[in-house]
Homo-oligomer: A and B are copies of this chain.
Amino acid sequence: MPRPDRMKLGTFVYTYGFHPASWMHPGSDVGAANSFAHMLNVARLSEAAKFDFMFMADSPAAAVGDPEALARQPNKMNRFEPLTLISALAVATERLGLVATASTSYYEPYNLARIFASIDHLSGGRACWNVVTSDHDETGYNFNRRGLDPHAVRYARAREFVDVCFGLWDSFDDDALLLDRERGIYHDPRKLRALDHVGEHFQVRGPLNIASTPQGRPVIAQAGGSEAGIALAAETAEIVFGLASDIGRSRVFYATLKARMAAFGRDPDGLKVMPGVVVNVGRTRAEARAKVDFMLERLHPDVGRLMLSEFLEADLRGVPLDAPLPEDRLPAAPKGSRALFEELTAFVRSGRTVGELIRLYAEKHTGNGITGTAADVADVMEEWFETRAADGFILMLPTLPASLQDFTELVVPELRRRGLFRDEYEGMTLRENLGVPRPRGRAG
């Protein structure tokens, strides 16, 4: 049975692209990390292609590790702060959804609720908050802590944080503003209320000092694949993001997550499962493959070693490239993708060198996903979409703007020919375009 709607698409943004050597691609401004013009270009390309949104990844810390390797990988060292960036993009774009990542571990709900409400007004209803709890130790060191709080504490705080924000966004009823100059009454005081929240992590009185926004509440995105993450998403999220590896597992994840929504009285269509996918597309398969190789050649071994260190949570500095990795450097369990972890483990046990392992990891991490012609890419996306492994995709484009231009020029027309992607925006707000309901402001 064909899907009733079309797929949703978003552009995932690290400044220069998802590939760790992306800043070296000749097609971008080398100073893009501090250039609004670069970000606006990415936004306008996404908007011209009628994408649902642009998604700003974030971490409130510079990456940690070998300083020489970090000096070769700017995406995590020098970046715009995402809330300010999407505020600026809000008034320079018209239809594109604007997603910013912000951590429930290091913000206060009153400040963040105000910020997103303000962006929703600035953008005419295109704000989306990617809720994260932050999962890197280095972030804690910037916020008065010796490291991360335990996973369960972070998720309990996140759940309460989101709840407080929901309450604050509902401070003003949708029809609270009377704007009656004749009688001198601006708002109906019966349609504005305090929150008086008293919980384990937060005490917040409210009300929020900004009126109800075009979307009622910003769209909520989340990425969690843990049990706590799935629970939070089933209850509160409208976009769920994850790294796609295996279509079978993704179908199970999709079905599980949508089933869990019923317990919260939610329609499964109110949440869009959008795996991240790395796309390298060319006019021919050889051209696509050449693009992958072009970027792999630019990846310095120190950067590859640093990336692998992060994935394995092991310090690999000084480990020789031309010898196998001692097996005791492998962790017992993966932090990220289990499938990738198992593949790397088998590779190590087969006696390959660290240099080969880095190349495998870098390719899996940055060059895998889908590589081929527009038809190849569309085939995979169509299969995932039609078999309910995904409602759409967050595109992890290796380089920006080059890979985004490739995608919009080659793949988008192919998706349209197949009836899989929109020709024009359906609505004015991100909720309207995603097809997720707007929360109704309370009656007075």
Contacts and interface: CB of A to CB of B under 8 A. Distances in A.
Contact of A207 (B62, B110, B114): B62
- Quickly give the copy total for this chain: 2
Contacts of A73: 186
Contacts of A300: 184
A24 interface: yes
A187 B143 contact: no
A117 interface: yes
Contacts of A110: 60-61, 106, 142-143
A211 interface: yes
A148 interface: no
Contacts of A184: 21, 24, 72, 298, 300
A111 B107 contact: yes
Interface string A276-317: 000000000000000000000010100000000000000000
Interface in A29-66: 30-31, 33-34, 36, 40, 59-62
Nearest to A25: B181
A4 interface: no
B91 A36 contact: yes
Given A92-B91, A142-B204, A179 B210 contact: no
A1 interface: no
Contacts of A77: 186-187, 192, 209
A88 interface: yes
A115 B189 contact: no
| Interface size band for A | 35 or more
A72 B188 CA distance: 9
A83 B115 contact: yes
Interface string A190-215: 00100000000011111111110000
A189 B192 CA distance: 52
Given A26-B181, A203-B144, A205-B138, A186 B34 contact: no
Interface string A150-174: 0000000000000000000001100
Contact of A78 (B31, B143, B172): B172
A162 to B, nearest CB: 17
B210 A79 contact: yes
A210 B75 CA distance: 10
Contact of A143 (B33, B83, B108): B108
Interface string A72-113: 111011111101110110111000000000000011101100
Nearest to A299: B184
Give 10 closest A-B pairs by Cβ, nearest first: A87-B87, A81-B118, A67-B189, A141-B205, A84-B87, A62-B209, A81-B114, A84-B118, A110-B142, A74-B186
Interface of A: 21, 23-24, 26, 30-31, 33-34, 36, 40, 59-62, 67-68, 70-74, 76-81, 83-85, 87-88, 90-92, 106-108, 110-111, 114-115, 117-119, 121-122, 138, 141-145, 171-172, 177, 179, 181, 184-189, 192, 202-211, 298, 300
24 contacts: A21-B184, A26-B181, A30-B179, A33-B211, A60-B110, A60-B111, A62-B192, A71-B189, A72-B185, A72-B186, A78-B177, A78-B186, A78-B187, A80-B118, A81-B210, A83-B87, A83-B115, A84-B122, A85-B87, A85-B118, A88-B88, A91-B92, A106-B108, A184-B300
